[in-house]
């Protein structure tokens, strides 16, 4: 993301300006005295007609959107390929105690197994209970059709929406129901040239309530776009919201296939939660523990072995690397973390 913001966007703008150089300078506006390099480096000329500037800004947004989707999918695919081929362990110590901890990401087999177990438990626990599904969409016009800005904003907008709804529930003396939400990117439609492809929206399932709140209240507090209640994008009725959202989360964020790669790559690039839930709804994926530990380093090993065998191989490497010392020499400034 840092590379995309600091360098990629600037390259996109320069590329588009370079494409328009011949049209603007050599054909339509010869009074703009500039060679191509200085023209591109100096940015959009200030003496262009307003309609040309507006057309350029619209074209730039479309170009940036296409580059964002392409960039996210390619970098995500490289990331998945690298993580699937390598197992990484953190070597930690706390006084005389030390060990190795395997580093997981949200697509690690062990992490995926936790997601499946917890979503299956939710379906078993709440499958026959009342529930309400909200789909919160974003109106692209509010963000000048810029997908980058939509993805940047959606997390904060969702947090503000939940906060406002909790206040509304408190005013009406109603307990706020437990909930589970997931982020999704749109596939787009052929009839409008897939213009909405990659736009984010959110599914929220509220448990133990068949009726959540008046639609006017929901739309007012969301304030970002359309709201659907217990219905899909195609206006199909969702009869079992809990099954719908747990199946969606399991399918979208545990399988790496062409249907899911766009949504996964955008969630990964913008560092968004694939899904989240209210406190206490399910057992945490990574329970907190106590005690500060020091990081002594990271060890990587080609994957394909059992975890126990990988740890034995790393321990043998540590023993060999430090000439038979029981522990590596102390590090002057270790990184402190919570084990």
Residue among 155, 276, 132 nearest 214 (CA): 132
Checking 321-327 for CB contacts under 8 A at 24+ apart, the result is 327/93, 327/98
| Radius of gyration of the chain from its Cα atoms, rounded to whole angstroms | 25
Phi-psi region for residue 313, left (φ > 0), alpha (ψ -120 to 50) or beta? Answer: alpha
Taking only the tens place, the pLDDT of each residue in 232-275 is 666 667 788 888 888 888 887 777 777 788 888 999 999 888 88
Neighbours of 133 (CB within 10 A): 20
Given a contact cutoff of 8 angstroms between Cβ atoms, the answer to whether 65 and 145 are in contact is yes
**Taking the model in full, what pTM does it have?**
0.78
Check pLDDT > 50 for residue 69. Answer: yes
**Half-sphere exposure in the Cβ direction for 148 (13 Å, CA):** 17
pLDDT beyond 50 at 194: yes
Instruction: Give 91's strand partners.
Output: 100, 297
Structure tokens at 307: 């975890």
Q: The tokens of 156 are what?
A: 């904060």
Q: Which residues 6+ apart lie within 8 Å of 107 measured at CB?
A: 80, 83, 256, 264
Q: Which residues of the chain form beta strands (DSSP E)?
A: 86-94, 97-102, 131-137, 179-185, 200-207, 227-229, 275-277, 292-302, 335-338
pLDDT reported for residue 142: 93
Question: pLDDT tens across 79-124, in order?
Answer: 888 777 788 888 888 877 778 888 877 878 888 888 888 888 888 8
56 with 189: CB under 8 angstroms?
no
pLDDT band with cut points at 50, 70 and 90 for residue 140: very high
Q: If you average pLDDT over residues 64-70, what whole number do you get?
A: 89
* Distinct helix (H) and strand (E) counts, the chain: 10, 9
Do 104 and 110 meet the contact criterion of CB atoms below 8 Å apart? yes
Could you tell me which of 116, 138, 130, 151 has the C-alpha nearest to residue 249?
A: 116
Give the length of the chain. Answer: 339
């Amino acid at each position: 993301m840092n590379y995309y913001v600091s360098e990629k966007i600037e390259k996109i703008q320069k590329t588009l300006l370079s494409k328009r150089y011949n049209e603007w300078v050599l054909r339509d506006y010869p009074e703009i005295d500039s060679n191509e390099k200085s023209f591109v480096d100096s940015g959009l000329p200030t003496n262009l007609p307003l309609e040309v500037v507006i057309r350029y800004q619209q074209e730039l947004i479309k170009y940036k959107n296409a580059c964002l989707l392409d960039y996210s999918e390619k970098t995500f695919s490289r990331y998945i390929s690298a993580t699937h081929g390598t197992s990484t362990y953190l070597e930690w110590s706390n006084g005389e105690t030390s060990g190795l901890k395997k580093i997981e990401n949200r697509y690690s087999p062990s992490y995926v197994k936790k997601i499946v177990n917890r979503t299956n438990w939710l379906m078993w626990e709440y499958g026959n209970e009342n529930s309400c599904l909200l789909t919160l969409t974003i109106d692209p016009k509010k963000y000048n059709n810029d997908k980058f800005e939509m993805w940047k904003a959606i997390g904060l907008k969702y947090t503000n929406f939940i906060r406002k709804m909790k206040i509304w529930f408190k005013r009406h003396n109603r307990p706020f129901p437990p909930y589970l939400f997931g982020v999704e990117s749109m596939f787009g439609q052929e009839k409008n040239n897939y213009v909405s492809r990659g736009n984010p929206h959110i599914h929220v399932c509220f448990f133990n309530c068949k009726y959540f709140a008046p639609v006017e209240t929901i739309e007012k507090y969301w304030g970002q776009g359309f709201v659907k209640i217990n219905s899909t994008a195609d206006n199909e009725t969702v009869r079992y919201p809990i099954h719908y959202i747990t199946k969606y989360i399991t399918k979208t964020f545990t399988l790496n296939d062409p249907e899911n790669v766009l949504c996964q790559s955008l969630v990964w690039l913008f560092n968004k939660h694939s899904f989240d839930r209210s406190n206490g709804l399910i057992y945490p994926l990574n329970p907190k523990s106590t005690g500060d530990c020091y990081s002594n380093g990271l060890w990587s090993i080609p994957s394909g072995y059992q975890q126990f065998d990988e740890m034995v191989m790393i321990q043998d490497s540590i023993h060999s690397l430090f000439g038979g010392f029981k522990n590596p020499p102390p590090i002057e400034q270790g990184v402190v973390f919570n084990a």
